[in-house]
């Protein structure tokens, strides 16, 4: 292991600041913080007498009430039609990378089209090819090899025999987001869309029927809860034992879990309760429409600083119509390592953490500010003000 004894904690991705700042803001790409009101509600629950959801049997009437609340409130707030099941799954987003093909492709020869426009769709396609035949739509820039756009979906690049078309509505690493799901060519509209919405679920509306959404999944630990829970919203006509691969494990089988009403095995009781708290918060705060307005406002605050820095800050996605509202990658002075380290240390001292976290993909030149539900507009302003100060102090270096 590399000697890290003399490396500043901020450069190692530390999420514990020295405590000298009056602010503490978590910009981590996930897991991350929940809205303060939700965290306070969780804390208050532990002060009450009796069992908390951490200790409730998943088949007890107390937990069944919690489960029903989480499902019905999510269905109402996200306008999820009645012909969709809401399933709470284990295994995170990676679990769904396997669960999707195992549920929608009966045989290895079945074809699935994957729109690969970033890190997570590439990884999902790699997992799926174990269980089905992949038709990949490559979204890389042919000159740079980078993912900086979303490829056009045409009759030519979508195999008509596809069991589904897979995409990610927000690529967290690459900073690419679709603010509305794509409209498929007329001759391909019968193919169900599968959407990894792990990092943007609840921040914008979903046109479930209009976009022919077959499955939409989101791991909880970015916008709706804690690690260890994933919601999979599955259209009912895609269920059925005759549709799934015989290799599909029961814990990932949509049909088995729908028929068992989310109780086939022990549910993540506490995590499901937190989802219910988050849905209550979202409703009090104005629902999805108001949440989208906040997301637009938060991201604009930071992009304005980047765009008005005369090149001191850079971001890889030039197309403003695709710049992520959730995850804003930015470099400093073209990737200047010395200034980047100074930025990380000074922002850490001011109570801002998570701008660089250790990932399986290494450390690149871009930092990343993630603006999930737990980050407020004031938090975005605090970071923006620091970025302006840092430019003023260092632009002549």
Asked if pLDDT for residue 170 goes beyond 90, the answer is yes
Q: Give the residue from 142, 97, 98, 138 showing the smallest Cα distance to 115.
A: 138
Handedness of CA 110, 116, 121, 125 (dihedral sign): positive
| Residue 37: other Cβ atoms inside 10 A | 14
pLDDT in tens, 209-257: 999 999 999 999 999 999 999 999 999 999 998 999 999 999 999 999 9
Cβ proximity of 175 and 315 under 8 Å? yes
- Identify the residue whose tokens are 């002549």: 396
CATH architecture for the domain at 9-36+287-394: Alpha-Beta Complex (3.90)
Q: Which secondary structure element, helix H or strand E, spans residue 346, and what is its range?
A: helix 337-349
- Identify the residue whose tokens are 């814990």: 251
The chain-wide mean pLDDT, for the chain, equals 95
- Pair of tokens at residue 266: 């022990």
pLDDT in tens, 306-328: 999 999 999 999 999 999 999 99
Question: What is the fold, at CATH topology level, of the domain defined by 45-283?
Answer: 3.40.640
Asked if pLDDT for residue 115 goes beyond 70, the answer is yes
Q: Give the residue from 83, 126, 133, 81 showing the smallest Cα distance to 104.
A: 133
Tell me, what's the pLDDT at 397?
Answer: 57
Q: In the chain, what are the domain boundaries?
A: 9-36+287-394, 45-283
- Identify the residue whose tokens are 């259209």: 235
Q: Which residues are catalytic?
A: 120, 196, 222
Buried b (16+ CB within 10 A) or exposed e, 287-308: bbeebbebbeebbbbbbebbee
């Amino acid at each position: 292991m590399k000697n890290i004894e003399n490396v500043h904690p901020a450069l190692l991705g530390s999420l514990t600041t020295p405590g000298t700042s009056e602010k503490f803001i978590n910009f981590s790409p996930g897991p991350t913080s929940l809205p303060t009101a939700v965290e306070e509600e969780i804390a208050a629950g532990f002060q009450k007498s009796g069992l908390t959801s951490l200790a409730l049997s998943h088949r007890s009437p107390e937990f069944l009430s919690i489960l029903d609340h989480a499902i019905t409130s999510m269905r109402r707030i996200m306008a999820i039609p009645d012909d969709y099941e809401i399933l709470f799954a284990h295994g995170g987003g990676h679990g769904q990378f396997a669960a999707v093909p195992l549920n929608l492709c009966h045989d290895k020869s079945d074809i699935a089209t994957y729109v690969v426009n970033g890190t997570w769709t590439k990884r999902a396609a790699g997992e799926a090819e174990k269980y089905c035949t992949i038709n990949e739509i490559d979204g890389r820039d042919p000159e740079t090899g980078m993912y900086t756009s979303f490829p056009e979906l045409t009759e030519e690049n979508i195999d008509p025999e596809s069991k589904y078309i897979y995409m990610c509505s927000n690529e967290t690493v690459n900073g690419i987001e679709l603010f509305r799901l794509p409209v498929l060519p007329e001759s391909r509209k019968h193919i169900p869309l599968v959407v990894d919405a792990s990092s943007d679920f609840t921040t914008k509306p979903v046109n479930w029927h209009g976009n022919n959404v077959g499955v939409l999944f989101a791991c909880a630990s970015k916008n709706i809860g804690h690690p260890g829970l994933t919601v999979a919203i599955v259209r009912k006509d895609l269920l059925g034992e005759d549709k799934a691969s015989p290799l599909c494990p029961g814990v990932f089988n949509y049909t088995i879990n729908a028929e068992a009403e989310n109780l086939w095995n022990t549910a993540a009781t506490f995590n499901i309760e937190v989802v219910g708290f988050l849905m209550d918060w979202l409703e009090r705060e104005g629902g999805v429409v108001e949440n989208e307005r906040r997301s637009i406002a938060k991201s604009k605050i930071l992009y304005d600083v980047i765009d008005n820095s005369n090149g001191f800050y850079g971001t890889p996605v030039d197309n403003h119509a695709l710049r992520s509202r959730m995850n804003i990658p930015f470099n400093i002075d073209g990737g200047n390592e010395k200034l980047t380290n100074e930025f990380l240390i000074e922002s850490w001292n001011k109570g801002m953490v998570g701008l660089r976290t250790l990932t399986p993909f290494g450390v690149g030149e871009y930092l990343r500010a993630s603006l999930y539900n737990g980050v407020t507009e004031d938090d975005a302003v605090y970071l923006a003000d620091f970025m302006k100060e840092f430019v003023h102090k260092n632009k002549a270096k």
